[in-house]
């Protein structure tokens, strides 16, 4: 009994109840994911090549799967209660080490395997923390326990593959072959992870709180959008020199098109999808939660990182006094900028189709306009290319506000009524504190 004394002191794990919201510890944990997104962007921005982009996307896919597993655990147990935060802090430390080591994961194998090994070891610690915690929580549920154990091979094999990707290339003399082996092993990890999620099916899983699940993913998407603003501001060297009018205009345009992308999801699609998940029950809810949020959020996050890389390069040239303002952007800035927004919108359309069963022609039109804008923007000055992208994104928002006015107002009214009803019930419950003999300052009367 002595070994469980610490658990009695801290308290037991507490299950997530229907209607539960995201707690503050989960947002605290997300700070490390913010850092991870930032590291991926910064490591890729050092020298943007096809292989660097491939490596960045592979790392993002593995990191996102870790996030998905984390969200599955968080929908079953409250991460900020009892002894659970102690375990999660261990996971946070491992995730932080994972993020710090990412820039070395695809470096020259002749430089040693220390960085890639740290990546693999940190990964197994993160996964082990989630696995052990989830097994403990579902110990009284045979179906959930069996389903959890079915994912143990995926965790073991993915860890072994990451270790192999760290060690085997150091034994190969040919750098080209060594790089292909390493990349192939990472790609195998990604295929293994996401195929396991599909093959494993929805049976045995449950989404107790649709509110918690949707809020969890909506918050990480906002964090990713915010990180893109930070990356552009830091990487484009806007802070390293006196501001110029072109640089200020580029910064304003960056905020405008990022806000338009936020609006494209959070104004109608996000709230409507949340209601759709609430209305769905059982295995259908689990399937929708997996497909729409765990899988289709990934291209949206990838798109954010890609357009941040493109915007950073373009804004850096605009802010550089030695680069003529009329000169077109150099490098892959325009394709990354427009292509990233296309990736984001395509992911959002997949999300809309899976949750609402609809597809907006305005989104399809915006994607086609952005695709046509790539060759045009490549021949325009950097500021004009940013203006073109911003105009397309803002035009999408304006069109949808006008065209979907009635449906949009009806949805917002439903959401407002839900919130006010919920707040009224919370206020009614808290009124008991006054009934129990406390004044407005919380002191006894």
Q: What is the pLDDT of residue 9?
A: 54
DSSP sequence for 264-318? HHHTTHHHHHHHHHHH--HHHHHHHIIIIIIITHHHHHHHHHHHHHHHHHHHHHH
**Residue 197: partners with Cβ closer than 8 Å, 6 or more residues away:** 68, 290, 294, 295
pTM over 0.75: yes
pLDDT recorded at residue 327: 86
Q: How far is CA 127 from CA 67, 82, 87, 94, 133, in A?
A: 10, 20, 12, 10, 10
Give yes or no for a contact between 314 and 267, defined as CB atoms under 8 angstroms apart: no
Instruction: State the first-to-last Cα distance of the chain, in angstroms, to the nearest integer.
Output: 43
* R_g of the chain computed on alpha carbons: 24
pLDDT for position 3: 47
- pLDDT at residue number 290: 93
The confidence score (pLDDT) of residue 444 equals 47
Consecutive 10-residue averages of pLDDT for the chain (445 residues): 50 66 82 84 84 92 92 82 83 89 78 77 90 80 76 88 88 85 94 89 77 90 86 64 80 90 95 93 90 95 93 84 83 93 97 94 96 94 94 96 92 89 82 66 48
Query: For 242, which DSSP code?
Result: -
């Amino acid at each position: 009994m002595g070994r469980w004394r610490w658990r009695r002191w801290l308290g037991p794990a507490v299950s997530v109840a229907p209607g539960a919201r995201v707690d503050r510890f989960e947002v605290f944990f997300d700070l490390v994911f913010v850092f991870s997104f930032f590291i991926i962007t910064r490591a890729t921005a050092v020298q943007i090549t096809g292989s660097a982009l491939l490596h960045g996307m592979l790392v993002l896919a593995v990191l996102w799967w870790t996030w998905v597993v984390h969200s599955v655990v968080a929908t079953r147990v409250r991460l900020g209660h009892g002894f659970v935060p102690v375990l999660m802090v261990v996971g946070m430390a491992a995730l932080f080490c994972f993020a710090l080591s990412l820039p070395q994961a695809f470096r020259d194998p002749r430089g040693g395997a220390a960085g890639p090994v740290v990546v693999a070891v940190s990964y197994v610690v993160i996964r082990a923390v989630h696995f052990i915690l989830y097994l403990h929580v579902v110990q009284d549920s045979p179906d959930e326990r069996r389903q959890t154990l079915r994912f143990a091979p995926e965790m073991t094999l993915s860890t072994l593959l990451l270790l192999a990707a760290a060690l085997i290339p150091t034994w190969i003399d040919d750098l080209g072959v060594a790089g292909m082996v390493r990349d192939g092993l990472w790609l195998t990890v990604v295929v293994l992870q996401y195929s396991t999620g599909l093959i494993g099916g929805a049976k045995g899983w449950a989404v107790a709180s649709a509110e918690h699940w949707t809020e969890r993913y909506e918050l990480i998407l906002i964090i990713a959008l915010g990180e893109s603003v930070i990356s552009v501001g830091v990487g484009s060297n806007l802070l390293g020199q006196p501001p110029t009018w072109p640089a200020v205009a580029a910064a304003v345009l960056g905020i405008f098109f990022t806000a338009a992308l936020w609006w494209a999801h959070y104004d109608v699609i996000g709230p409507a999808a949340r209601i759709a998940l609430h209305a769905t029950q059982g295995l259908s809810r689990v399937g929708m939660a997996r497909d729409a949020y765990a899988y289709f959020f990934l291209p949206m996050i990838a798109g954010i990182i890609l357009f941040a890389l493109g915007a950073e390069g373009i804004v850096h040239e605009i802010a550089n006094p030695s680069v003529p303002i009329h000169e077109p952007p150099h490098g892959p800035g325009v394709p990354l900028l427009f292509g990233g927004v296309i990736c984001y919108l395509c992911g959002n359309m997949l999300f809309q189709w899976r949750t609402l069963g609809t597809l907006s022609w305005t989104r399809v039109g915006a994607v086609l306009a952005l695709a046509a804008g790539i060759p045009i923007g490549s021949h325009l000055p950097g500021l004009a290319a940013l203006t073109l992208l911003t105009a397309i994104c803002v035009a999408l928002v304006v069109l949808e506000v006008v065209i979907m006015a009635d449906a949009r107002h009806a949805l917002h009214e439903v959401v407002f009524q839900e919130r006010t009803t919920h707040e009224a019930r919370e206020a009614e419950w808290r009124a008991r504190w006054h009934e129990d003999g406390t004044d407005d300052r919380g002191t006894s009367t």
